[in-house]
Structure formats: C-alpha cells, structure tokens
Structure 1
Amino acid sequence: MRSINLLQTVLDESGEARIKSIARYIEEHISSNWETVLVDHRDKLQKAYGEAGDMAYGTYLNLLFLPVHRQFKEAGLNPEPRFPGDFDISREWGNEQQDNQQRWMWSTIYGPHQEPIGTIVTVVYHDHTQFQVPRQPEILALKEVGKEAVVESLSALSPEFARALEFTAEYELYLQSLE
C-alpha cells in the first residue's frame, strides 16, 4: 500500500482538501483490510463476542485501525480520541431485529503542529445477535471540529443520527428501565 506517499501528500495539502485526503487514505486501508482482519482473527473475535458481547467490535476496530495509527504517528498526525472515536458520545441505530445496526463515532485529526485539520467519522455496521460485520465500515470527512459542530453537521447529514441518543444517555435509560 502507498501509505507513506499518500500521507506525505496529505501533509502537503491545506484546508478541506487535507481532511478529505486523510479520509481517502483511511478508506483505502479499510477497503483493503476489513475482511482480512475478520478472517485472520476470527477465533479471537468470536471468543471475545462470546465472553464480552458487543465489546468484540471494539477489538475488531482496534485491530483494523492499528496500522493507520502507526502511519499517522510517523507522519505527525494525531487522532483524538484514537480511531474509531469516543464510544461514550457515539450514536447507534438500526432495525428491530438488531442484526443491522450502525454506530457513528468520530476523531478530530491534529497535524504535526497540533493544528486541528478536521474530523473523521467512522460508521461501523454490526449485528447484536451474533458477531458479524455485514459490510465495510465507512468513513466521512468533516471540516468541522468540536463536539457541537460535529453533531450539528452529522445531524444535517442523517435524520437517524439526529434522532439517536449518545451512548451514555441511551445506557442511562436502559439502566433506568431495569429498576
């Protein structure tokens, strides 16, 4: 993969083109590796799902994004939080059967001089009835940074995102329902 060259191109760009190039780099990595990670780590991921349920998707995403983190570090790029983003403020929705869900998480990308470049949103498709990633994760590039600006932008892009609750609010309601 042309990782170093593409990242060098990213560092040479400015403005909105820069965050879009970063998104293309990540999309290329995901496209080339999302299924391979599932196959190569099948037993580990199935075991993790059996023991910890949906947390296995976090394990999968960590494995998928590890090479991206290495390349970003070498290029002086810093995603905050680490990819795919902060689970606590992520939003999820899907079908009633719980087998076609999507979760949207995001990370702000900072350049070599800690300048904010933009935000990368990771859309993860998953199943709550078994460990399954039914399709390739998607990447969205936003020029916006900061939680409020990102939420506003994503809400304009997706009515489902706008209606979904942050994980912490959703989990709080769940705990209240158990009382």
Structure 2
Amino acid sequence: MNSSPTVFSGNKNSDIYVLNHYIANHITENWQTLLLKNQDKLLKTFNKAGDMAYGAYCYKLFRPIHQQLKHTGLRPSPWLPGDFNISREWGNANQSDQQRWMWSTITSNEGKALGTIVTIIFHDHTQFRLPRQPQVVALTETSKEAVVEALSKRSTDFKNALEFQIEYAEYLRSLENEG
C-alpha cells in the first residue's frame, strides 16, 4: 500500500469518511496492477470455480487494508469487502456488467462502531473481467437494517435486488420445480 501507516495515528476514532477516502485511494492505486500481476491465476480460478475468482481478487486487494486497520486498532466486521450472503447483485441482461454491493462495519478495539464501508465490485459472469474500478461508500449507519435502508435510498437497483442467500434459495426452488 502506498499510504502512510500513520494515517490514523492519534485518532483511533477517525471519521468513517476519512477511512473511506483512504481505502478509495488504495483501490485507485492498486486495482489494475493487482489484476495484471495475478491475471493468469485469477483466470484459472474463474475457469474452475467461477465467481470465486472475484473473492480471491478481493482478498488480495483488501489484505493491505486489513493489515493497516489492525495496526491502528480498527476492525472491520466482517472482513472487507463484506458478507457475501447478505450482499446484493444486479446488472445487464447478458451478465457481462454486474455489480455486487457488500459492506463491513468498522469498530475500534474498544468496541465503538465508527460506521460502515460499502464495497461495490463490478464484474463479469461470462469471463473473468472487472469492467470498472471497485468503489467504496462510507455510511454512518452500522446495523444491517439501517445500512439496507440507506443503500435502498441511494439506489433503486439495490432496493429491488435480493440478498444473495434469498436469491440463491429461490434459484434452488426453481430447479426443484423444473424436475
């Protein structure tokens, strides 16, 4: 990461918007380089396991952020970019330009919730490709219900999309009904 480890020194209760800016800068500086450096491995993962390749990419992208947060006494819960099971996804009809919204609540070691970082991953289901740079959004809300409400106000697509676990359960039911 090309940022100073002292970004939060002396202010462990840093504003969630400062943290968001820090993460956004890290993404801007590293997302394409990381793709190029790991392209072959990520493509092989995509060909074997599909969307899990995007999870592997996110792990690599956010690992330096986690190290920095731990060093400064801040904890994301769950790990960035967030909980896949409650995430929401939508995109174009041919599934070549999808976006998945996930989030993590940031707390101090003392247990004080600072806010939430929402991560938006743009991806392609037809091949391994990120059509656009991942984005992050800061929210002061921290409960699942409040985050969902805030994001629903921000995006009609988010509001109309189902949580992954609900969407997947409906998909499995549809398969049972076909058989």
Question: TM-score if structure 2 supplies the norm length?
Answer: 0.95
Aligned-residue CA RMSD in angstroms?
A: 1.1
**Cα deviation 1:20-74 (Å, max 9, x = unaligned):** 0000010010000000110111111001001100110000000000100001110
Higher helix proportion: 1
| Contact map agreement 1:20 1:141 (CA 8 A) in 2 | yes
Structure 2 counterpart of 1:5, which letter? T
Counterparts of 1:2 and 1:59 in 2: how far apart (Å)? 23
| Contact map agreement 2:34 2:61 (CA 8 A) in 1 | yes
**Cα deviation 1:97-152 (Å, max 9, x = unaligned):** 10010000000000131210000000000000000011110000000001000000
| Contact map agreement 2:3 2:26 (CA 8 A) in 1 | no
| Contact map agreement 1:104 1:122 (CA 8 A) in 2 | yes
In the alignment, which residue of structure 1 is the partner of 2:85? 88
Identity, % of aligned pairs? Answer: 53
TM-aligned CA deviation for residue 10 of structure 1: 5.3
Structure 1 residue 4 corresponds to structure 2 residue 1? no
Structure 1 counterpart of 2:9, which letter? Q
**Cα deviation 1:83-109 (Å, max 9, x = unaligned):** 000000000000001001000000000
| Contact map agreement 1:10 1:21 (CA 8 A) in 2 | no
Structure 2: gaps (5+ residues): none
| Contact map agreement 1:101 1:127 (CA 8 A) in 2 | yes
Q: How does 1:6-25 map to 2 (within 5 A)?
A: 6-8=7-9, 11=12, 13=14, 18-25=15-22
Q: How many pairs were matched up? A: 175
Structure 1 residue 101 corresponds to structure 2 residue 98? yes
SS at match of 1:130: coil
SS at match of 1:5: coil
TM-aligned CA distance change 1:9 to 1:20, over 3 Å: farther
Which aligned runs of 4 or more in structure 1 are off by greater than 2 angstroms?
7-13
Structure 1: gaps (5+ residues): none
Structure 2 counterpart of 1:162, which letter? K
TM-aligned CA distance change 1:154 to 1:10, over 3 Å: farther
Counterparts of 2:37 and 2:10 in 1: how far apart (Å)? 31
Counterparts of 2:10 and 2:133 in 1: how far apart (Å)? 25
